[in-house]
Chains A and B, each alone.
Chain A
Amino acid sequence: NAGVMQNPRHLVRRRGQEARLRCSPMKGHSHVYWYRQLPEEGLKFMVYLQKENIIDESGMPKERFSAEFPKEGPSILRIQQVVRGDSAAYFCASSPQPWSQDEAFFGQGTRLTVV
């Protein structure tokens, strides 16, 4: 049973480009959570999704950021018109129930660098 898979592991984008980060949850998990970790900072909650639904997006910046978790395929975190301040590690986690702690795992993250 593969763990939470994130790709790409590293992503370099120029200012103004779009970044797409993918997260494939563990088999049987239908709840996905995205977090961002800025350099020298803690993890900040961004968004919580179930299949085809956004449950809590209170941590998402109001502009340029969007997330989806379609019926088929991975969850996607999309950042439009990236700026240098978007450079960070983006982690997703998945669980079979709403944050079932004993069964929640993080992916290895995507490190986004904006140049």
Chain B
Amino acid sequence: RKEVEQDPGPFNVPEGATVAFNCTYSNSASQSFFWYRQDCRKEPKLLMSVYSSGNEDGRFTAQLNRASQYISLLIRDSKLSDSATYLCVVFNQAGTALIFGKGTTLSVSS
């Protein structure tokens, strides 16, 4: 099983749509989880951390299910500027580095 697995995508949605991305991780001891955003050929940037209780930042909501080792990201009212690749990220077992999923590509059209 891969350390971090994501929906293959791509997701093509109209502006205003709600879209959800899913991710599973293999290391049950992982303590820290994140969603990053990567625009085409640019560096990844932290979108938000994921907390056990779930957390929200504007139109973005992240959820964590430790029992199922499952992380999700919900984007409401999609904007054209949300078009990017979304990366699910967890800490490695040693706690020394981030492990990235391959990413899910989102394309929002008008």
Contact = CB atoms under 8 A, between A and B. Distances in A.
Q: Do A and B bind each other?
A: yes
A98 interface: yes
Nearest to B2: A42
Contacts of A58: 92, 94
B96 interface: yes
Interface stretch (A11-19, A66-74, A100-108): A100-108
B108 to A, nearest CB: 21
Please give me the 3 A-B residue pairs with the lowest Cβ-Cβ distance, nearest first: A42-B102, A106-B43, A56-B96
Nearest to B89: A43
Contact of A101 (B42, B45, B49, B102): B49
Given A41-B102, A101-B32, A106 B97 contact: no
A33 B87 CA distance: 17
B46 to A, nearest CB: 7
B1 interface: no
Interface of B: 4, 32, 34, 41-46, 49, 87, 91-92, 94-103
B44 A45 contact: no
Given A45-B92, A45-B100, 5 more contacts: A42-B101, A43-B44, A59-B97, A98-B95, A99-B95
B66 to A, nearest CB: 18
A56 B96 CA distance: 7
B64 to A, nearest CB: 15
Nearest to B45: A106
Interface residues of A, number: 23
B96 A42 contact: no
7 contacts: A41-B102, A42-B100, A42-B102, A45-B98, A89-B41, A98-B95, A99-B91
A112 to B, nearest CB: 13
Nearest to A35: B100
Nearest to A92: B43
Interface string A19-51: 000000000000001010000011111001000
A89 B46 CA distance: 18
A55 interface: yes
A53 to B, nearest CB: 12
